[in-house]
Structure 1
Amino acid sequence: MTTAAISAPPPRLDGWDAHVHIFDGAVATQPGHYQPAHHPIEHIEAEAAQLGVGHLVLVQPSVYGTNNRLILDALQARPGRHRAVVVVDETASPAALQAMHQLGVRGIRFNLVSPVGNGLHALESLAGPLREMGWHIQWYAHPHHLAQIAQVHHQTRLPCVLDHLAGMHAALPATDAAWLALQQLAELGAWVKLSGWYRLRDQAPYAGLTSNIQRVAALAKDRLVWGSDWPHTAFETTAMPTYRSVWTPVVDALGEARAQAALAAGSQLYA
C-alpha cells in the first residue's frame, strides 16, 4: 500500500439523494397495497455514501398514511443532516407543522397514483402555513394530472416538486398535452425529480427514457434533483437495482457536469 493511499482523504459526502423511503416492519401499514420489508435508514446511508451522497430526503411512503413518526425520529437522531417530506391531513396544526420544520421537514406530499394515496382536500387549510414556512408541495402523479396540478400552483403560488420525471414515461407521445402542462409548471418554477425510472414503462439501462429526460431537463433547467427511489418497492428485495444503476441514466442523458449539478441541487431546494 502506498503512502498516498494511506493518507488519501475520505470521499466528500455533500451530494443529495432527494427521494428515499425507510421502512420498519413493526410499523402498521394501510391495507390494500404492498407490505414493505424492513429497510432502516442505516442501510441507505451506507449505499448513498458510495456515490458521495451524505444527505437524504426521506419521503413518507403511502402505506404509512399520515403516521410520519418513523422519518421524524430519523431526522431527530441526525440533527441537520437529512430532510423530509411528510403526508398530513387538514387536522395538522401550525404548531405541529412548525415542530416538523425544526426537525428538517420541507414539504408535504400528495400521491395521486397509489391505491392508498391522498387527495387534495387538505390543501385549502394548509396553504397558508406552508407558505409561511416556505414548504413545497410534492406530487406523485400521472401525466394527465399535470394540468390540474398547474392550476393548483397557479392559484396557491406554492413551490412545486414533481416526482419521478413528472411521470413522463417512455410510451408518452411527444405531442401529448401533458408536455404543455409541464411547460406551464416549469414557468411557475416547478422542480422535477430525476428518479423512478422503473416506474416509467422502461427497463434497465433505461435508454428509452433518454430523450424524455433531456426534454424535461430543457424545461426545468437548473431546477432538477436526483433521487434513487430506494428501496425500490417495485422489486423483490433480492432483485433490487444497485444504487449506482439508477444514477447512471442521468449521466447518460445529461452528461457528467449537469448530472453533478442535479446531485448538488438538493442543498438549494431543501435548505
Structure 2
Amino acid sequence: MANTTDTPLVSTPMRDCQTLERPAFAVPDLACDAHMHVFGPLDRYPCVARPHYTLPDGKLASYLQLMEVLKLRRFVIVQPSFYGTDNRCMIDALKMAGSIARGVAMIEEETDAAMLDSFHKAGVRAVRLDLFARSALPTAEIQQYITRMAKRCASLGWHLQFYAPGWVVRNLIPFLADVQTDYVIDHMGYMLEEDGLTQDDFARLLDLLRDGNCWLKLSAPYRISKHRGYDAVAPMAKGIIAAAPRKVIWGSDWPHIPDGSRDTGELLNLLARWTDDAAVHRAILADNPARLFNF
C-alpha cells in the first residue's frame, strides 16, 4: 500500500479466520483470490531499507486456513513493496503451494533471462510495476519504462500489473490504449476523489477496459472508500463489472496492510452486492483468473 511518510505504518495481528463472515453466495468451483501477499521472518527474508510498514502477520499457513473457510481454491501471490525486487519469500511460498498458486514478481530491468525462466517454472505469470515509486517522473519516462517491461513480459507470455495512483493511470490512458501486452490495473484503478479524479476520468478508464488489453482488479475497496464506507465504492465496482465482466478479477488484498483485523469474508461478499449474476461470479472468480494466470 502507498505511504508517503517516513514513519512505517504499524501492522496489526491477523484476524482469526474462524471469525470471518462466511460466503453469502455460491462460491464457484476453483474460485481464485487474485491479489494477496505472503510474508516470512525477517532473519530469512530481509525487507527493503525503508519499508512503508512493519512486518505484517501474513504467513502462508494462515492464508491456507482462510481459503478453506471462504471456499477459495486458488490464489495469486503479489510481490509486496516490503521486499522490493527480492522475490525469495514469494517464490518459496509458490513452491510450497504448488499448482493452486501463481505469482506476480517485481524485477529490476536488468534481471537476466535465466532468473525469469526460474520464476516462470515456479509459477510467476506477471510483473508488478510500482508506479507509486515512479509517480514523480515525467509521463513520457513512465511510458518508456512500461514499454521496456512489456517487451520482457511478452517473451514469457506474462502480463503486467500496475500498482499506480489514479492520477498516473489517468495520464497514461491514451498511451495504454496502444499497449499490446495484457495488463491489470490494481485496486479498480485507484481513482480517488481526494486526488482530483473525476467521473469523466473513470469513464475513460472503462473505455480502456472495454476496448484495449486492460484488465481491472476488484481489490482493496477500503483503500478507495477511505472513511466513506463500502457503499461509496459500489458504483465504481458495478460500472467495471458491467463494462467488461470477462476482463475483471477479484482480490482480497490479504493481509490488509496495516489492518490485519479486517474481515476478508466481508470483502468477498461485496462481490454479491455488486452483482447477483452467478455466471458473472464464475467469470470473475474462476474463469478469468484461470485464463489470465494460466492455471
**What TM-score bracket applies, with the shorter chain setting the length?**
0.7 to 0.9
**Is 2:254 the counterpart of 1:230?**
yes
- 2:47 aligned residue (25, 29, 32): 29
Q: Secondary structure of 1:183's match? A: helix
Q: TM-score, normalised by structure 2?
A: 0.78
The one-letter code matched in structure 2 to 1:74 is A
Counterpart contact for 2:179–2:213, Cα < 8 Å: no
The one-letter code matched in structure 2 to 1:59 is V
Deviations 1:81-116, CA, capped at 9 Å, x for gaps = 200000001111122111111111010001223699
Deviation at 1:49, TM superposition (A): 1.8
**Structure showing greater relative contact order (alpha-carbon pairs closer than 8 Å, 6 or more residues apart):** 2
- 1:103 aligned residue (113, 119, 122): 122
> Aligned partners of 2:97, 2:153: CA distance in 1, in Å?
24
RMSD (CA atoms): 2.8
Counterpart contact for 1:32–1:115, Cα < 8 Å: no
Q: Secondary structure of 2:210's match? A: helix
- 2:33 aligned residue (12, 17, 30): 17
> Aligned partners of 1:85, 1:247: CA distance in 2, in Å?
21
Counterpart contact for 1:63–1:116, Cα < 8 Å: no
Question: Matched residue pairs, number?
Answer: 258
The change in CA–CA distance for 1:140 and 1:129 in structure 2 (over 3 A counts) is closer
Counterpart contact for 1:85–1:106, Cα < 8 Å: yes
Deviations 1:173-216, CA, capped at 9 Å, x for gaps = 65332431442243113111111011003458611111111112
- 1:246 aligned residue (267, 277, 280): 267
Deviation at 1:260, TM superposition (A): 3.6
Deviation at 1:227, TM superposition (A): 0.5
Aligned to 1:206: 230
* Residues 58-97 of structure 1: pairs in structure 2 closer than 5 A: 58-97=77-116
Structure 1's consecutive aligned runs of 4 or more residues displaced over 6 angstroms after TM superposition are: 115-119, 170-173
Q: Secondary structure of 1:255's match? A: coil
* Residues 1-271 of structure 1: pairs in structure 2 closer than 5 A: 14-26=30-42, 27-30=45-48, 31-113=50-132, 120=142, 123-169=146-192, 175-203=199-227, 206-235=230-259, 237=260, 240-257=261-278, 258-264=280-286, 265-271=288-294
The one-letter code matched in structure 2 to 1:186 is R
Q: How much identity, in percent, do the aligned residues show? A: 26
> Aligned partners of 1:124, 1:262: CA distance in 2, in Å?
28
Q: Is 134-143 or 175-184 further displaced after alignment?
A: 175-184
> Aligned partners of 1:48, 1:221: CA distance in 2, in Å?
24
> Aligned partners of 1:145, 1:58: CA distance in 2, in Å?
24
The one-letter code matched in structure 1 to 2:293 is Y
Q: Secondary structure of 1:134's match? A: coil
> Aligned partners of 1:33, 1:146: CA distance in 2, in Å?
22
The one-letter code matched in structure 2 to 1:253 is W
> Aligned partners of 2:57, 2:135: CA distance in 1, in Å?
20
What residue ranges of structure 2 are gaps of 5+ in the alignment?
Answer: 1-26
Deviation at 1:251, TM superposition (A): 0.9
Deviation at 1:256, TM superposition (A): 4.9
The one-letter code matched in structure 2 to 1:243 is T
What residue ranges of structure 1 are gaps of 5+ in the alignment?
Answer: 1-10
